[in-house]
Amino acid sequence: MSDNCISGTKTSSSRSSIDEGSTSSPLALAILLLGGFITVFDLFVVNVAIPSMQADLGANFAEIGFVIAGYELAFGVLLIAGGRLGDIHGRRRLFVLGMVGFAVASFLCGIAPDATSLIAARLLQGATGAILFPQVYALLRVMYDEAGRRRAFGLLGMTLGLAAIAGQVLGGLIVESDLFGLGWRVIFLINLPIGVLAAIFARTIPESKASDVAGVDWPGVSLATVGLLLLLLPLLEGPNSGWPAWTWGSFLASGLLLVGFLAWERRATHPAVDLGLFANRGFSAGAVVVLLIYSTSTSLFLCFALLLQTGLGLSPFEAGMLFAPASVGFVVASLIAPKLVARWGNGAIAGGALIYALGIGWLILTASELAGREDVLVMLPALILFGLGQGLSMTPLLNLVIGFVEERHAGMAAGIISTMQQVGGAFGVSIAGIFFVSILAGHSSGTEPEASRYVAAFAGAMFYNLAAAAVAALLIAWIARKRLAQ
């Protein structure tokens, strides 16, 4: 449900060239929108399928956490590189490559025989999504004039919102229908024919490249990717394994690699991340806010799905339908948020973050009172408030943060913030998971009902989300005042 990519993201300020005589057909627009749809759909559809995957594969929390976090991490750290590759080699070419790669990775997810294979396939799926997704924004930007762009990006925003809702509701229906006896695997396998057809019809999209674009900083990308993976792995696995020595060794290796990444970026001719942007305190604080607030989204979906399905016994479709009003609230709030900011200024974003925190707090209170599946409807008002607060804060936040940098650095800033969104989501899963797993293990008495165990684990894990959202609201208020002073 969270807006996991930045509207209008571009990775280069270089001039773009487009094939002469090419026209932008409705079919080309539809194919690009489909590319955006499946990347976001696959982020959300996994949430309702996680309990089924866990039961089928015999996976523990660390493994299912990595199924979600691995996708987001690979997507996030490779996003800037994916955009630059499109600028250099052709955006349509990279769109096709990304679409085919995404379809193949989805197929590998669908046939995965065990949790380890599924995690590897999800990492590949996230990497191919990072090749695919930036081309959607870049192509929409160069294919249309100003008026056409407004319509195209408006349709894209609506498409991504619908993808989030469909991922919850349609995904639950697909899993529950158990088509061909394949269960959760169908949510991945359907991407294969979609990807192939989209790649075939992508010939209607005009090719475009950017002139004088910087190359890809592969050493920097590699250091960041391995360093973050080594940080994420012990955070997910540590609570299950009792924090053995290898987890601390992984933390140490991660720290060394990330320090090496920073040192490399300072001396690189064309760095993956321009560290000079963080000299601006407003942008630096904004990046922290994005990391914090997006860390609360994916982790809530995961813990909520386990509460509803494993703890309370709801079906995947019932769980998806329960969360649908929150998704609708997010879409509605996203549409009205720009008007509220125009009327009340950036302080309205801080107000949205506060509403978001209140929604999480209310959800904790209502969930704590659940005794069984018959009580779940009491959470609806809290879920709607949660969705409204998320839309009011997340959607305009990105524009506020990027506004601190000069226009010539907007592409790099947007890429950095996109990466912070995805990395935040990945680490939110691991941090909330530490509390969820620990509390669940602490309520392992054989006489305690399963519902009570999962209610306690969910409520305890969400206190991290509540704290993160509250801190984000305070930081946004400070950023808004700083922006007003500029």
* pLDDT tens, residue by residue, 145-176: 777 777 777 677 778 777 877 887 888 888 88
DSSP state of 276: G
- pLDDT surpasses 70 at 142: yes
Tell me if 419 sits within 8 A of 412, measured CB to CB.
Answer: no
Closest CA to 392 of 287, 292, 293, 291: 293
SS3 (DSSP) at 17: strand
Q: What pLDDT score was predicted for residue 12?
A: 43
Indicate whether 303 and 436 sit together in one domain.
yes
What burial class does residue 263 get, using C-beta atoms within 10 Å of its C-beta: 0-12 exposed, 13-18 middle, 19+ buried?
A: exposed
Q: Is the pLDDT of residue 40 over 70?
A: yes
**Residue 418 and residue 352 share a domain:** yes
Q: In this structure, what CATH number is given to the domain that contains residue 111? A: 1.20.1250.20
Mark whether 195 and 85 lie in a shared domain: yes
Q: Let me know whether 319 and 297 are in one domain.
A: yes
Shared domain for 243 and 278, answered yes or no, is no
Q: Which of 100-104, 231-235, 436-440 has the highest mean pLDDT?
A: 100-104
Give the pLDDT of residue 45: 85
The pLDDT assigned to 100 comes to 94
The per-residue pLDDT for 9 is: 44
Max mean pLDDT range (97-106, 200-209, 385-394): 97-106
Looking at residue 330, its amino acid is F
Same structural domain, 308 and 455: yes
Looking at the structure, tell me whether residues 186 and 290 fall in a common domain. Answer: no
Answer with the residue of higher pLDDT: 27 or 162.
27
For residue 315, what are the domain limits?
A: 274-486
Query: For position 356, what pLDDT does the model report?
Result: 93
| Residue-level pLDDT at 156 | 79
Closest residue by Cα to residue 417 from 401, 432, 438: 401
* Number of separate domains in the chain: 3
Based on the domain organization, do 110 and 250 belong to the same domain?
no
Domain boundary among 216, 241, 263: 216
Give 87 or 124, the one with higher predicted confidence.
Answer: 124
Provide the pLDDT for residue 462: 93
The mean predicted confidence, pLDDT, of the chain is: 85
pLDDT for the residue 11: 41
pLDDT band at 55 (very low <50, low <70, confident <90, very high): confident
Q: How confident is the model at residue 26 (pLDDT cuts 50, 70, 90)?
A: confident
Query: Same domain, yes or no, for 11 and 61?
Result: yes
Q: Comparing 23-37, 136-150, 178-192, 419-433, which segment has the lowest mean pLDDT?
A: 136-150
In tens, the pLDDT along 349-399 reads 899 999 999 999 999 999 888 877 888 889 899 999 998 998 888 878 877
Query: Quick check: 275 pLDDT over 70?
Result: yes
pLDDT-derived band at 4, boundaries 50, 70, 90: low
Entry pTM: 0.85
Say whether both 283 and 405 belong to one domain. yes
Q: pLDDT band for position 129 (50/70/90)? A: very high
CA dist 186 → 108, 268, 419 (Å): 12, 44, 29
The per-residue pLDDT for 5 is 52
Residue 275: both structure tokens together: 């560290």
98 pLDDT above the threshold of 60:
yes
Same domain (yes/no): 170, 261: no
Task: Write the DSSP string, 173-236.
Answer: HHHHHTGGG-GGGHHHHTHHHHHHHHHHHGGGSPPEEETT-----HHHHHHHHHHHHHHHHHHH
DSSP string across 353-421: HHHHHHHHHHHHHHHHT--SGGGGGGGHHHHHHHHHHHHHHHHHHHHHHHTTS-GGGHHHHHHHHHHHH
Residues 227 and 180 in one domain: no
